[in-house]
Chain A
């Protein structure tokens, strides 16, 4: 298949480790900065105000017709198509990778003029990295590995660091690490900073996404402060959840984290990416998230080097909406190839 669509600059080869693919402008990585505890301590997050803002977001923005179709295609290009289950097998992962290469049926993509659309990445456990890398050979689609004792992050620290190295060696271009929630809950910002910095170093050229597991951090203020500390320690992305917590990505959490990203950029000039994960399963939700990124951070954050959805079932709903746009008739899930 044609793997280079004209909207995207040449990207790193799958399995290489230098950069994220699919973007026009190559951004410098976040070099991090010394831990600024005063700044961290000054950060506030007023829960009820954030919730009210989040509640009105879907009503404030609306995209229709060809704009909606284009936005949904954009959402597809930003999905980290994910399988993180104990029963994952080579076959299951290869199926997922096939779906990542061809996320929407060729007929629909042709009708939209969007041939060559792929998902942003494939996200798997370490043991599945090699399989995924192999299955995605010849594409621009990077493989992301969850790492560091995912999802709880409570295995011995040296093993967590070693795990990163192994995944990178196996060909993962992106590493989704989990932070130690206890450092946030005890407000041991130095420990969180040191842990994050060491993990970032272990990633080498692979990009690192810091999973905050926001559902376990207790307050939005903690979410905001942990976001800042992880960015100070060099995270390329901050990510909400493992998908395994009781509460995963929500709009209030997202608003809190992207405000932190904005503050970090205002202070350092460095753009950090954002990945909401878990709980985003409807096409309409993905539009709200895109609008949130566009309005709060700007259009630059609508590219895969700065924004990803951690999702699996979202794609199916988007496929149905796209078919509806193309044909005018409401669609059915069994008409679309499963992952």
Chain B
């Protein structure tokens, strides 16, 4: 075209970023992406191949690492770990800083490689993925530097197995590797089979940055390689990917005492109120669902728009969609690139074509004739019961429905199995700040969307997984307590055939919904003292009692809204009432367990109640220092419904040590009392009854832990299961928890020591909810 013709047409024309350098780099490295172990390239085999989704052309071969290769990588990481940890915070900080610098020096190569391999627009890899990845290493250089002070009493897990998805290959690599290394872990990371190339560039950067051999190891391959890594002898697993695979990892690691972080799928709500800046909200949608072709776990894929503005909103949105430019990911003038693989493209097509509800609108923008492209799509008029309102499409497809009131918006937004992110648009600060805590999601964006930063925790609830990445919250996930006192040995119930001592018979019942209730099954078991005396009977709860307890917790949701001050007052009141009956409790504890430590245990329980009363209005969130005019508030929201199995030993202290952090943080709890020594808990509910604890906030069951634990773990309305009971319960609890991917915490502690309280407990009783509030007028 001549200049004059273009002067008339005013077309954009091609603006391609050159792929030459990246392709030459691949060729110079043998044309195969393969393992990087012990600071060296492993054996390169073209078992598979990596293709450019925009053209279908082969970019490189890909080695599918075998189980033996994965184990060798874990071994290399194991060998390198002690030295890396001993290098100290400053030593590790220098290396992380050098990685960040090295990435900056290769920023264009990384960006081009990412777009070639993944199909995302070069603008995104250049302006978003790569800078965020670099920032992650800078931020975590700081985390390493301050590790000894900020993470006092914490130690690295050891070797971390990390598996990342194909949608943000380099950024997810950074999210995984930077905090792990900062804490003194070594890693074996598996990139996604579609997108392993930028990790190869990263490996070289590590070598040049002075990362000691074995500290960072990469294994390439597909799902089988990932399975081998999950099965390998690692000390921690972090996974980002689909909910389906996350569930399998949860099951595969059940009972292996492996801490997990899972960042999974989503169907995040994008709520637009009638007073919003509509054009800005529409532009936000471009960043929400047409960013990275909608292949974003936290994509705002579910539009909820106020009924009063819906028609206008959809009309303007369609016009905006028509203006999107789809095409060659390396073109600097396109908005939407290629779907990562033809397989994924087919999945999107199948989902959209299978939908018969609502009205489907495909953007009127031209698509390239070849390659894996899908047009930006809007489906309006759907109902929550339509499958596409519930299923994650993971493509450039937005589904939409309307709401009438803020309360209805909350209901619709939370009507999902997922809980990763939510976006809301309103010019009303009252509405925004009222809505944010009510939305069931780990990340909330107010008048913005898809904002990320290394200092702000990111992660989900429900089937979007658990654990946070970014900030000190993310760092904690890569650490464990440096030292724990040995937990008391398991104890069995005493047996006997003695007769009761004098007095009127007292019937120990279950405590559910603020009432003493008889067990559904109608069974009890005799509880004997160490010398065989009959101390009383404890009810045997079954799964129906458990169900009732969960219903009671649901009815007590309002507790989460009680002020920290009020929760503290109630905890103090419990302590006061327990203290008033100290002698009686001490005698009961001595009778149950033998010995004379009952009084000490009561005193320790009172102290513990005080401790968490103190935390109730003190364990606060923080404002993360994100590079934005605005704040990112990392709030501590209640975890929700917690089921906690108390330890056998110290039956009162153990019970109180689980109850107090849970209710101090606004969660509700159902406690299963010490299996051998249940009666102290039954006395304790009388204390609760006199302490203004609202009905359902605390429920207490007695019974067989092995029978109750899996039922709790599989209950879809339980948000977390803690077990300090028999370690043998771990496998059953963790496996059953995969159903709704609830958080589990299975461990043993000596509750008579400081190990029995503190931040681990508070963290378990809360969910970090990051609320981004940009501002400016």
Measuring CB to CB, which residues of chain A are less than 8 angstroms from any residue of chain B?
A: 7, 44-53, 56, 59-67, 69-71, 73-74, 112-114, 219-220, 259, 262, 266, 290-291, 294-295, 299, 302
Contact = CB atoms under 8 A, between A and B. Distances in A.
A80 B473 CA distance: 56
Contacts of B335: 60
Q: Which 8 A-B pairs have the closest CB atoms?
A: A67-B13, A70-B6, A49-B280, A46-B277, A62-B332, A48-B774, A62-B15, A44-B277
Given A47-B777, A62-B333, A112-B3, 13 more contacts: A45-B277, A48-B775, A49-B277, A49-B447, A52-B448, A59-B127, A60-B333, A63-B15, A63-B333, A64-B14, A70-B5, A74-B7, A259-B279
Interface string B122-137: 0100110000000000
Contacts of A63: 12-13, 15, 333
B774 A66 contact: no
A160 to B, nearest CB: 31
A47 B10 contact: no
B290 to A, nearest CB: 12
B123 A59 contact: yes
Nearest to A218: B777
B489 interface: no
B8 interface: yes
Chief secondary structure at chain A's binding surface: helix
A66 B275 contact: no
Interface residues of B, number: 42
A65 B126 CA distance: 21
Nearest to B332: A62
A66 B1 contact: yes
Contacts of B281: 49
A67 to B, nearest CB: 3
Contacts of B8: 7
Given A44-B275, A49-B448, A73 B15 contact: no
Contacts of A295: 323
A47 B13 contact: no
B127 A48 contact: no
Contacts of A220: 777
Contacts of A51: 776
A48 B776 contact: yes
Contacts of A294: 10
B448 A70 contact: no
A71 B448 contact: no
Contact of A114 (B3, B12, B276, B333): B3
A56 B10 CA distance: 21
B20 interface: no
B279 A61 contact: no
Contact of A73 (B3, B427, B775): B3
Residue of B3, B14, B333, B777 with most partner-chain A CB within 10 A: B3
A50 B176 CA distance: 33
A44 B12 CA distance: 31
B447 A48 contact: yes
Interface string B419-455: 0000001010000000000000000000110000000
A61 B333 contact: yes
A73 B281 CA distance: 34
A262 B775 CA distance: 25
B630 interface: yes
Interface in B296-326: 315-316, 323
Contact of A70 (B7, B275, B279): B7
B44 interface: no
Contacts of B333: 60-63
Nearest to B7: A70
